[in-house]
Every structure is written in C-alpha cells, then in structure tokens.
Amino acid sequence: MPLIEVQGLTKAFRTYKKEPGFGGALRGLFHRRYEQTVAVDHVSFSVEEGELVGFLGPNGAGKTTTLKILSGLLFPSGGSARVLGYVPWQRHDGYRRQFALLLGQKNQLWWDLPARESLELNSKIYGIPRPAFERTVADLTELLAVRDKLDVMVRELSLGERMKMELVAALLHRPRVLFLDEPTIGLDVVSQKTVREFLRQYNSRQKVTILLTSHYMTDIQELCKRVIIIDKGRIFFDGRLGEIIDRFSGFKILTLTWQTGASFPAVDFGRYGELVEQSAQHIQLKVKRDQVIAVCKELLDKVPVTDIDIQEVPIEEVIRRIFAR
C-alpha cells in the first residue's frame, strides 16, 4: 500500500479584486468583485515508502499548495488524500509526529537564539528523550558539517548554514515522510552539494519518503529517479526522469572535433542542424534524433574528425521547453 495516496485533490482560492483609484475603493465598500483561482485541479498520484520523488512545475503551478495540503496546513476544496494512513487536514497528533515540512523561504528557528536552543525547544515539543536528542543532533550536524555552529545566533549564520540547521530541526523527531519545498534556494554551489549529498544518504539509510520541489535541475537529476510535473494545477507527467528526454526531446547534441590547422573544403554545418557552438577545431550541432546517424556519416566523409560525441539535450532545456508550452 502506498505511503502517500492522493485522489482528485482540488484547491480553489477566492480572492478579492480591487478596482483602481479612490472611486474603486469606495465601490468596494458596497460591492466587491471576487475571482476564483484553482491552484490544484484534480491531482492524483501515489508514492511508495522510501521513494524520493521530484515535484516539478513553473511558478504558480500548485506545488507548494499541494505540499501544504498534505501537511495539513490547508483544507482542500475537493478530493482525498492519505499519508501514513492519516487524512492530513484532520491534524491527528499521530500524523504530526511522523512528518516534517521544510519551506526554503520560511524560518522555523528562533532568529535571536542560538540554533541549539531552538532545537532543544523542538525536542521538548516532540517529547524526545535527552540521550536520543543529543545523538540525533550530533549525527545530523556532523553529516551537514555545522556542528561548530550550534551555539551561534541564528541571525549570524550564513544562508547555507541556516538552511542546514533548518534541516536538522525538521529531522529531529525522525519523521517517516519529509516534504521539502526549495531546500537549496539561494544557496551557493558548495552548500547545495552538501545538502544534496546529505538528503541522498539520509534517504538511503533511514528509508524516509521524500517529496521534493526545486527549480535547480541538478537537485532533481542527482536525487530523483521519478518526477511528477504539475502545470496550472494539473499533473502533466509522472514517471522516470529519463522518460522526459525520450518523450519531449526530439534532438541530440552532436559534437565533432578535428586537429588544429586541419584543412578540408568549406562545409555548411547549418544545413545539418541547429548550430550550438563553433570554434577553430570543433563544431556542436543540435540534430533531430532520427537524423543523427545519417548526419554523422555525411560529416565523417567531409571533415577529418579526430573525435565524435553524441549526447542527449540537457534535461534543464527539456524542462524549460515543457514549462514554456
């Protein structure tokens, strides 16, 4: 039985639309105009125990709203969901002790206290025994390389250090389900890599089920075998990450290299595909998938090639085109 099961989940928001100017403000006192925005539109999916699933979509697609519903922060307008056997928005104590929600743009640590004191407060809330608390904090801060920052005021931590401490706080009670909304947003490359490596190890060791949203495709590529793409509140794709390229990319990247100074008749490379990059000793073309072999044969006959490389179009470009559609 899936650990997370969502069927026809829907969430609509009713928002007041103010007319411009003083006159509009006066009219709004007596007659208000409202608009309904459907943020999540009959979404259905399931996640098995121990899975690490990427939840993708453009801004406003409904990702964060879905996570908030599954965390019990929002009531849906329709549909059903069960996580760990619980209905999230009923907010049973047994459920709240088994999941964690980490919003990359929100803080759960006290700004003017050392991180250790916020963690100790959380341990009291969850009723974690002192030995278990000390052991968990030591393990997590060691893995995230922030053990020496426990007694530093949260407001004095760098963004990367603060996000790592937020992760420690979220995992303090050893949740079985973890909802992560942009956990690496704004972090430098080194901090992003540390957080990704930590999540990979933690998922592997603890078998925690993770639903992850991120706009950094490196996060998704390195962590998630399966992705769910949501757009305008609806599921657009659900499957293996590799299937996205197979289904939505009709091109491959062909790179030809030759020795510096090599002579050969002028070739109009543009007629074989889209020119991506060109220099004195190499050419890179975007070629239609069904024409790659024919193009390779023809160019090998015309150019004294020393090396040839054929790769898939980068996943970032494929995802960007999907979002743009």
Q: Which of 249, 239, 315 is nearest to 288 (CA)?
A: 249
The predicted-structure confidence for 102-143, as pLDDT tens digits, reads as follows 987 777 888 888 999 999 998 998 899 999 999 999 999 998
Residues 202, 83 share a domain: yes
Q: Which two tokens stand for residue 248?
A: 């939505």
DSSP annotation string for 284-319 = EEEEEGGGHHHHHHHHHHHS-EEEEEEEEPPHHHHH
pTM across the whole model: 0.80
Domain edge (last residue) among 222, 245, 268: 245
Domain edge (last residue) among 205, 228, 245: 245
Helices vs. strands in the chain: H and E counts, helices first: 11, 13
Residues 241, 259 share a domain: no
Largest separation between any pair of C-alpha atoms in the chain: 81
Residues 260, 161 share a domain: no
Domain edge (last residue) among 183, 214, 245: 245
Residues 147, 87 share a domain: yes
CATH number at residue 9: 3.40.50.300
The predicted-structure confidence for 49-94, as pLDDT tens digits, reads as follows 999 999 988 888 888 999 999 999 999 999 999 999 999 999 999 9
Residues 270, 212 share a domain: no
Domain hosting residue 49, numbered range: 4-245
Residues 218, 90 share a domain: yes
Residues 125, 158 share a domain: yes
Q: Which of 35, 154, 53, 167 is nearest to 101 (CA)?
A: 167
Residues 44, 130 share a domain: yes
Q: Which two tokens stand for residue 49?
A: 């125990």
The predicted-structure confidence for 246-259, as pLDDT tens digits, reads as follows 777 788 899 989 88
Residues 263, 129 share a domain: no
Q: Which of 229, 226, 230, 276 is nearest to 251 (CA)?
A: 276
What's the domain count of the chain? 2
Residues 106, 68 share a domain: yes
Q: Which of 269, 270, 313, 272 is nearest to 292 (CA)?
A: 272
